[in-house]
Structures are given as C-alpha cells and as structure tokens.
Amino acid sequence: MTMTYQEHQMLHAATGRAAILDLTARHNRAYSAGDRDAWIATFRHSGATFIRDGETFTDLRAAFDGGNGQRLVSVDHEIHVDGVNATQRCVVVLYAKVYDETTLRATGTSSDRLIYERGGWYFTSRELQWDSVPSAHPVM
C-alpha cells in the first residue's frame, strides 16, 4: 500500500520531531556532563550560533559553560518541521549542586532553528533566554 502525500508529510514530521527531541536530549546531557565537544557536535558543522541572554557566540567553544554539577533539562517542546528546516521552542530548567545539595538555579526559554544535513538534525542557532530573577533570590 502506498502512502498519500498527506501521510508522507505526517510521517516525515513525526520522525523529524522524534529526532529533534533526541538531539535536544544529547545536547542537555553533554552540557550536564561538561562534555564541550559532544555539546558542540549537536550544532551545525559550520556557521552555527549560540545566543545566551542577548550575547551572541559564533565560537561555540567560548559559549560553553556546562558541567560543574549543573543539570540542564528541556520540557514543553513545540517543534515545527518544514522539509529540512525546523524550529523548536521549549522551557529550560537549570539545576546546580550547591554544598552537596541540588537546587534550582534558573528557568528560561530556548528558541532554536535546526537543519537536517549529513543524515541528522543539528542546531543552526540556539537562543537561550533566562528568566529574570531578583538578585536577593537565594538560588542565584
């Protein structure tokens, strides 16, 4: 039985969404583990950008600030696949180990642009915006 055009598009979008969720999980695990090379490998081979609180990094090595007892978690994913391009918006939660106790360090949102190339999905840009927290807040 052959698939209709609509069925083919739905299958393509579903498999793309699943692969993007896997990419995001690998990205978060590499960040949490302090594995800069694995974290960079989730981005496009060349021309990728990372934006954190308005600061743009084209040198991904300089953008990496993971590890050190931090755990990055992404939830509430909204993914739109359009051929070989995709966008993702999600909520990001950062935990940190402070004095042998894991505490909430920050929450924010991520707006991502992705591309399918070389047989997989990669971030072309990732914009992370942390929620503002009063300076007197104990977890900051």
pLDDT in tens, 12-49: 889 999 999 999 999 999 999 999 999 999 999 889 99
What the block records as the tokens of 58 is 């084209």
Q: Which residue has the higher pLDDT, 134 or 21?
A: 21
State yes or no: pLDDT of 137 exceeds 80: no
Model confidence at 92, in pLDDT bands (50, 70, 90)?
Answer: very high
**pLDDT value for 73:** 96
Q: What is the pLDDT of residue 98?
A: 84
Assess if residue 63 is contained within a domain: yes
What mean pLDDT comes out for the span 48-67? 96
Q: Count how many residues are written for the chain.
A: 140
Distance CA 69, CA 101 (A): 10
For range 99-106, the mean pLDDT:
89
- pLDDT, residue 65, reads 94
Q: What is the pLDDT of residue 115?
A: 97
Specify if 135 maps to a domain: no
Q: Domain range spanning residue 114?
A: 5-130
Q: Examine residue 139 and state whether it is found in any structural domain, yes or no.
A: no
Tell me if 91 sits within 8 A of 84, measured CB to CB: no
Whether residue 24 lies inside any domain: the answer is yes
Answer whether residue 140 is part of any domain: no
Q: Is residue 135's pLDDT more than 90?
A: no
113 is a domain residue: yes
pLDDT, tens digit, 9 for 90 and up, residues 107-120: 999 999 999 999 99
Which residue in 109, 140, 129, 123 sits closest to 41, CA to CA? Answer: 123
Cα–Cα dist 30/92, whole Å: 15
Q: What is the number of structural domains in the chain?
A: 1
- For residue 136, being part of any structural domain is answered with no
Question: Domain holding 58: CATH number?
Answer: 3.10.450.50
